[in-house]
Amino acid sequence: MRFRTTGLLLVTVAALGAFILLVERRGQTTKEREEQARRALHVDAARVSYLRFETTNLVVECAREGDDWMVVQPLRARAASAAIGRILAGLEDLPRGEVITDAERRARGLGMDDYGFDQPRARVTYGDSLQRRTVVVGRDAPLGGQLYVKADLQSDIIATSTNLLTLLPESVASLRDRSIFRMGPERVQRLEIGGAGGFLQVARQERGRWMIQQPVMTRAATPAMTALLDGLFQARVAEFVSDAGEDAVVYGFDDPTLSVTVGYGEKDGEDALVLGDALKTDPSLLYAKRKGEGSIYAVSTNVLTRLRTGLGDLRDRRLTTLSAQDVSWIEIRDSDRKLALQQQDGTWRVAEPRQWKADEDRVRELVSAWVAAPALAFVDGVGTNPAEHGFVPPEQELVLGRSRPGAAGARDAESVRIRVSRGSATATGVLVRIEGEDALREVDSAALDKLSVDPLFYRDREVLSVNRDDIVSVTVQDESRKQTIARDEAGAFRPVDQDQFVLNHDALVEILMVLGELRAVEFVADEPDDMAPFGLEEPAAVLTIGLRSEAGISRSVLFGSDAGESGVYAMIRGRDVVFVLEKAVRSALLANLYAVPPKTAEEPLEAITNQ
């Protein structure tokens, strides 16, 4: 029993599902039929690929080829797809009015001529590759705003809106595409402009960037190229002049004013436009024709104005397309030295020839100065002899890149290599040459102040940083004194073996503050063979600090001779890098640790702890 019941349930469910599906399908079909019954013509705009109009003074055929519509009769030309689309949408939406059957017409004693079909206003043929229909347009119906139409080879007459008349083209020109170029500016891969002023060739490179290839090899400014192409593709045919293919001399095409070729790539080919003489009847228009076509057009002289964009207008005056934030690797070379700087985790370091923390401000100034440096002028036609154009030694080479060459994932990393002619520098400019370009550029010579192959120039100028809590003793020594203070068991600083002196609180506070971040004015030598020129062979004074065991043993700052009016040579013992400190810093670090006058027996010994 259970099996029979289950079987009956399954059959019932299946039957119910089939019934619902059938009802839904019938419902959809009914909807479609009702929608179609509302329309005068059986037009499915999405499926139509052929369209023909015949009127008393015009016969024109259009056909869809791929994604585009073409006029195929009485001439072959690109059709305005938007115009065709509007016509098809209008035909599809024509409303169905009164329907007069053959029997009804005969009962009224009327013939086809009474509805205007003996001399129809127009015939409209539409369809696809498998089926076509022709609609004949008759006279206006007595009821205002309507006219009569009938399908060819059918007897029923339908009244529909007179809007049909507005859909009929007035001329072939009204159906023709007035855009000069087939595709959009985003599809352009190559642009060539030729005329009396010379030849310009620009090509799109990787990452969508543009490169001028003729008359010189140099980068094009992307904003300038975008504006040029947008303006060019907005141009329209002002007038269709002739399709007879007359002699080119008549329109000035034998010696064209200008020619332009737009390449879309191997698959999509190119469009080539030639501009001839101005129209005598309207000097604001120029004769134009596309190569490979017989049609002659008239276009606005604004097209000529846009195409006469000069080389200087299109050139990218920046040295690189990288922004300052993009740069994470820097190389600087001269004849026998190389310096490398690398940014890792947001921090710049000297990577070669030594490894140091870099001065963030100086590296940023270097990057900003060269990334932002615009070309003040160009020197073209350099070829293989740049020296003839003033590009003379000494030279340096600067590389700015997104990552270190050879690093993982760096194969396609963007970089720019700039040769710098220091020998060409003047008070205002210096010549540089970008790898891959023919031309020289002149940039502001102020950028040279930020460029050095000396690693010390970019070394972080912090030479010592000590936490005051880690300092257990301080000793100041010169030729006339040696003063030492140390922490007692309570952690307070006191003079050592100098019971007749008291601590100079102010001097100690100043020393501790300066040692917290001791910064050099500049570095002058790395491991020099001779310390004598700096007065450091026998230092004039030494500041030594003793440290807790976990912070190290001790640090000593050695002071040498004066470096100019405001500086003094110094170094950290054991590091062999000579730098310059301000004299005011020396004075602070070598101040008397002992106060004067000496303390009396009644005076308590005050102490500085962790101030």
Report pLDDT for 9. 54
In CATH terms, are 324-458 and 462-595 the same topology?
A: yes
Residue 226 has pLDDT above 80, yes or no: yes
Q: What is the mean pLDDT of the chain?
A: 87
**pLDDT recorded at residue 607:** 41
Coil, helix or strand for 156? coil
CA dihedral 422, 423, 425, 426 (to 10 degrees): 160
Give yes or no for residue 575 having a pLDDT over 60: yes
Q: Which CATH number is associated with domain 462-595?
A: 2.60.40
Residues 572-593, mean pLDDT to the nearest whole number: 95
Task: Please write the tens of the pLDDT for every residue from 299-344.
Answer: 999 888 888 888 888 999 999 989 999 999 999 999 889 999 999 9
CATH code: domain 324-458 is: 2.60.40
* Residue 610 CB partners (closer than 8 Å, separation 6+): 468, 469, 491
pLDDT at 466: 93
pLDDT (tens digit per residue) in 431-480: 999 998 888 999 999 999 999 999 999 999 999 999 999 999 999 999 99
Specify the pLDDT at position 38.
83
Return the number of other C-beta atoms located less than 10 Å from residue 95's C-beta. 13
Judged against a pLDDT cut of 50, whether residue 1 lies above it is answered with no
Longest dimension (CA), the chain: 147
For residue 525, the 8-state DSSP code is: E
**414, 399 Cβ separation under 8 angstroms:** no
**What residue segments make up the domains of the chain, in order of their start?**
1-37, 50-174, 185-314, 324-458, 462-595
> In which band, very low, low, confident or very high, does the pLDDT at 18 lie, cut at 50, 70 and 90?
low
Inter-residue contact 160 to 97 (CB < 8 Å): yes
pLDDT for residue 115 is more than 80: yes
3-state DSSP: the chain helix, strand, coil percent, rounded to 5? 25, 35, 35
3-state DSSP assignment of residue 23: helix
pLDDT on residue 395: 93
- 23: pLDDT confidence band, cut at 50, 70 and 90? very low
Answer whether residue 137 shows pLDDT above 90.
Answer: yes
pLDDT digit string (tens) for 28-55? 466 555 666 788 788 888 899 999 999 9
Q: Which among 526, 540, 538, 529 has a CA at the least distance from the CA of 480?
A: 540
Q: Band of the pLDDT at 414, cuts 50, 70, 90?
A: confident
Beta bridge partners of residue 81, listed in sequence order: none
Tokens of 532: 């004598």
- DSSP result, 61-114: EEEEETTEEEEEESS-EEB-HHHHHHHHHHHHTPBP--EE-HHHHHHTT--GGG
| Spatial distance between the Cα atoms of 212 and 223, rounded to a whole number of angstroms | 14
563-573 per-position pLDDT tens digit: 999 999 999 99
